[in-house]
Amino acid sequence: METKSHEEKLISTSGTPAVNPALLASCIHCGLCLPACPTYLATGREMESPRGRIHLINQWSSGHSEMTDRMTGHLESCLGCLGCQTACPSGVQYEEILNQTRPHLAARRSSFARTVMRFAFQQVLPRYKLLRLLGNLLRAWQIMFGTAVLETLFGKERLQSDSAVGKALNRLIDWEAFTPIVPPQVSLPPSLVPKGNSEKGAHTQLFAGCVMDVFYNHVNHASIRLMLKQGHSVDVPKQTCCGALAYHAGEEDIAIALAKKNIDDFGHSSTPIVVTSAGCGAMLKHYGHLLEGDREYAHKAELFSKRVEDITQFLAHHQFPDKPEPLPNKTTYHAACHLAHAQNVRKEPADLLNELNCDSENKLVPLVESEHCCGSAGIYNLLNTRLSLKVLDRKLDYIEGTGAKTVVTTNPGCMIQLQAGIRERKLPVEVKHLIEVLDESYFSEQK
């Protein structure tokens, strides 16, 4: 017989619902969310659709059923992409339902798994110097041994052993697929002003991100170049992890501590905070809601969130002094979930790409289901690898169908996921951050 957690006992004995009943009641179970749900499309299971998960949460939250391992599996298979929230005609706040449920899911993890995850969220991701060191060690490993070392040692076929060692090695082979080549780490300058600065541009602060700056450090440098080209000055203040991975794993206390530190580090001005990672941007814009009950930080957090802009928003709202070179080859755009759905930023990336689609060949081609999740979803691809790859397969089929040589996106998780799938299929397609494409177009003569 399964033992209830301490939290579940409190819920059932107090009679207090774990999730706001009004949020759950807003779902009329019409099913219009189903075509927007990547896990439902991948599995066909009702319990892995938004309305199915809401039904499960409602049954548990109201005390009509226990939170079983099977129920937990259905809920944790959610990507959190929020495509359903965009599609819902009833305005169901699925994100808030998920956020209220996640801490309870976290409480059900094994003590070992939770300890490891909390250590990573508290002690590894917030320490940029340690992250850069780990990134450099990983780069050295890749240069000396190559990224396919596990397959070389153990063969391309899965190890058949059901032992703990065999399962661990199989897991490492899975994870290796999601490890991009780490670029050389070049420290970001603390402050830069454009040449011949005439005080016409804005003063900005760059949020570099932790995973973003390790795996895509060159994108942050390109962002700085583009902002300088528009005439803006750029500061890179002391900062820490945005807290998104901790928050989405249900470790709210860690996310709150990181949010407070970033609010203090970035100061209390009206300076725009420009973000190059869609996932980080969505979290930073959520600080106002995260800390709304905190007397000391509620107002500070609200003001902080209002300052946050995705790099595509910021660049699209200002002018470049000259015309870009056109796109060099057929290009398509994958909209990161945390940009399109979480931040509702759609027009600006399209505007920037259309500026580059400026020759007669019309090289920007549409992508079917461009706003559907690729299966990355933070660390989802590490925890739910098989379903993540199934979701990715559908995305890759549509990318392959465009005939594009470049797929553009705006989030490091998406880039890692798409690159892994494209490598596996051996497709002649490059994955680039939108900023890389802009940088190549506006600085083509210098390359």
Q: Rounded CA gap, 298 and 295, in Å?
A: 6
Q: What confidence score (pLDDT) does residue 18 get? A: 84
Q: What confidence score (pLDDT) does residue 135 get? A: 83
Residues sharing a CB contact under 8 Å with residue 166, sequence separation 6 or more, in sequence order: 159, 160
Is residue 245 within 8 Å of residue 252, measured between CB atoms? no
Is residue 272 within 8 Å of residue 237, measured between CB atoms? no
Does residue 271 carry a pLDDT above 70?
A: yes
Q: pLDDT-derived band of residue 33, with 50, 70 and 90 as boundaries?
A: very high
Is residue 97 within 8 Å of residue 57, measured between CB atoms? yes
Closest by Cα among 432, 405, 200 to 318: 200
Lowest mean pLDDT among 98-112, 177-191, 230-244, 313-327: 177-191
341-372 pLDDT, tens digit per residue, is: 999 999 999 999 999 998 778 899 999 999 99
Is residue 53 within 8 Å of residue 94, measured between CB atoms? no
Q: What confidence score (pLDDT) does residue 183 get? A: 82
Q: Identify the H or E element spanning 140.
A: helix 128-145
47-62 pLDDT, tens digit per residue, is: 999 999 999 999 999 8
Does residue 176 carry a pLDDT above 80?
A: no
For strand 233-235 and strand 191-192, is the pairing parallel, antiparallel, or unpaired? antiparallel
Residues sharing a CB contact under 8 Å with residue 266, sequence separation 6 or more, in sequence order: 205, 207, 237, 239, 273, 304, 307
Q: What is the DSSP letter of 36?
A: G
Tokens encoding 161: 């052993």
Lowest mean pLDDT among 90-104, 185-199, 244-258: 185-199
